Amino acid sequence: MDDKTKLIIIIALAAVLLLSLFLNLKIYGAKKAVEQELGYARAENESLSKKLQESRQENKQLQEKIDTLTSDLHKISQEKEELDKRRQEIQKLYDSLLEEKEKLEQKLKGQAGFVMTQPSSAENSYWAEIVKEKARLELQLKALKTSNEQLKSEKGALEVTLSNLMREKQDLQEQFQYHQKMLDTMASEFIWEKNARFQMQDKLTPIKNENAFLRKQLSIVSNNKAKLDKKLEQLTTEKNLLERRLTEIEIFLKDKLSGMGDVRQQAAQLLSQPAQESLQNKKESVELPAIVVRSQPESAYNSGGSFLFGNILSVNENNNFVVIDLGEDSGIRPGQKLQVYRADEVIGELEVTQVRKNIAACDIKKQALSIHVGDKVN
């Protein structure tokens, strides 16, 4: 993976992170505003409910007080009527007594001379009874006058009390009307607040849906980010592995080319020497730089014993050798014979000449078709 691709991936990840951060901030701000408005609405609703309950209690108390005053006023009215009836009866009795008094006085005046000139015991007793009756009536009349005055004073006091009760009743009715109006106002405000809360809940529903949708999108973006991180990590690992292999291949190719240069020098020396020495030198083997080799089975097997397939990494047609991605770790050793496959068809035969940890160089012994990079070997 080149730097440009890495830069694009980093920019995409940064954009995804910024977008998720912006969405989270927007959702958080909207949620906070809605919660604050709901808190204000709930506090105001609670205060209005308390005021409504207090008004109802006060209204109930006022209504009870009005009922009590009405009952007291009714009782006072009944007492006043009874007192008026009693006063009328007393007044009738007083009038009748006055009439009897006048009759007695007239009778006494008509018979005064006769009483004085011709007194008798029967008349004396009669007039004594009349005088007693008169005294008794006068005493009763005084008592009635006193009682009448007391009734008048009580009537005045009752009228004052009744006037006060009427004023108090009027004040209570005005307070009741005022509280009734306040109660109606509070009820209308409560209904408006309730409707506003329902509207706010209706507005909050799409915000919640949008929040859920954004959370899903954020979850998808997070999953994509995690996948991209894993893919980036895999690509980085593959890149490091390829860079390590390319380094090994370059070192191996340098060693191979230096070995080929030594072979060419030896061939030139052989050509310059006498024919016998040339023939003798041709029979001798050419030694390459020392390579550490571990003893392995004849075929390339992994640690579990299963047969390995490798790939052609590089082809050098001028020097007639190839580089494969199997090495010491795969059980490859110098001198081992390998076959080249393309689409399940054998197209060549190789012989391992040099081995490293993860790669090996092989001479091309046979090839039915031209060997290319990517062909399979085993």
For residue 322, the model assigns a pLDDT of 93
CATH 2.40.10.170 location in the chain:
297-378
Residues 68-104 pLDDT 10s: 888 887 888 788 788 778 878 877 877 887 787 778 7
CATH code, residues 297-378? 2.40.10.170
Q: What integer is the mean pLDDT of 240-262?
A: 76
Cα radius of gyration rounded to whole Å, the chain: 66
Structure tokens at 217: 């999108």
More confident residue, 3 or 237: 237
- Bridge partners for 360 per DSSP: 324, 355
Sequence-distant (6+) residues with CB within 8 A of 358 are 244, 245, 248, 325, 326, 327, 328, 329, 330
Residues 113-167 pLDDT 10s: 544 444 456 666 777 777 787 788 778 778 877 877 887 788 788 888 888 888 8
Q: Which CATH number fits domain 3-223: 1.10.760, 2.120.10, 1.10.287, 2.30.29?
A: 1.10.287
- Sequence letter at residue 245: R
Rounded to whole angstroms, how far apart are CA atoms 336 and 351? 6
DSSP 52-67: HHHHHHHHHHHHHHHH
CATH 1.10.287 location in the chain:
3-223
Residues 169-206 pLDDT 10s: 888 888 888 878 887 887 787 788 778 878 887 887 88
* pLDDT band, residue 273 (cuts 50/70/90): low
- Bridge partners for 367 per DSSP: 348
Q: Angle at the Cα of 192 (from 188 to 197), degrees rounded to 5? A: 145
Rounded to whole angstroms, how far apart are CA atoms 1 and 235? 7
Q: Do the Cβ atoms of 315 and 371 come closer than 8 Å?
A: yes
Residues 285-318 pLDDT 10s: 333 333 333 333 333 444 434 457 899 999 998 8
Residue 217 pLDDT > 80, yes or no?
yes
Residue 42 pLDDT > 90, yes or no?
no
Which has the closest alpha carbon to 189: 367, 309, 45, 355? 45
Which has the closest alpha carbon to 211: 55, 11, 28, 361? 28
For residue 115, the model assigns a pLDDT of 45
| pTM check: above 0.75 | no
For residue 371, the model assigns a pLDDT of 93
Residue 108 pLDDT > 80, yes or no?
no
